[in-house]
Amino acid sequence: MATEQELLAARIFFRAVFPVIKVMLEDNPKFSRKFQGVTAKIQILAKNDPEDVATYFKFDDGAFEVVPGMAENPDITLRFSSVAKMNAMFAGKPVLPRVKGMFSHFGLFVKVMGLLMGLKLLMPDAKPKTPEQAKLKVKMTLYMVSTALSQLNKAGDPDMVKWTSKQPERIYQWSCEPEGIAAYLKIKAGKSKAGRGYYTRRKPFVHMKFASVDAALAILSNSVDMVQAMVKGMLAVEGSPEYGAALGNFMVRIAVLVS
């Protein structure tokens, strides 16, 4: 039986990490070309008692969606013997699943594994090789982090719930200038919702502004802590320092969960 932390990590992978595959498909021509015309379902399943943990990827002629639960007649199934082993593989550790449908859909299997390998760009020690990759990594990371924080709250994490429950409507914004990469987290009376882009209906309660893609990469990979980054002009945090610090601590927790 999986522990609460293992199930929470799986939730983050399913609902925050996997959805940014769509960004790779949209922004990276290497992947978008490979999946043009592909219509398929890829099941990801981890054995667990009393209920297996599952989600699947749905490709529909270039469109991509992550769907919770079991797929009907999936083309390929990646099956793990435990939630812990599944989490370990997606954290970059040497774990292999049992694969059903690999030989009958070998070309598709190779494409999907390449896509999953592309997620390694999110890892702190992954070094982008081009300016385009660097920009993609920042965008994927900010989208993932904002969504993961909301999922941490929706999953009932005690610390996160305590933090969100007493707050009125507030916007926590991240942005990377001048590229215009942005994501936000909306909190209101214990509820949370993540979004991509700039929130325009009200001023952010806390706004973390990265000075450049390189600055964002250094901070998000923990190569430079936030205090040093602000001293060096790599990061500006507008709004409440106390809540900004708390938000930074939760971001570190997310990084630990998926590592």
Q: Which domains does the chain have, with CATH numbers?
A: 4-122 (3.30.1050.10), 131-257 (3.30.1050.10)
Contact 118, 17 (CB under 8 A): no
Greater confidence (125 vs 211) lies with: 211
CB-based burial, 157-190: b 16+ in 10 Å, e otherwise: beebeebbeebeebbbbbbbeeeebbbbbbbeee
pLDDT tens figures, 151-189:
999 999 999 999 999 899 999 999 998 889 999 999 999
Rounded Cα gap, residues 126 and 112, in angstroms: 20
In this prediction the pTM is 0.93
pLDDT tens figures, 1-47:
899 999 999 999 999 999 999 999 999 888 888 899 999 999 999 99
Helix (H) or strand (E) holding 229: helix 226-231
What is the pLDDT at residue 20?
A: 96
Tell the burial category of 59 from Cβ atoms under 10 Å away from its Cβ (0-12, 13-18, 19+): buried
pLDDT tens figures, 206-257:
999 999 999 999 998 888 888 888 999 999 999 988 898 898 889 888 988 8
pLDDT band at 48 (very low <50, low <70, confident <90, very high): very high
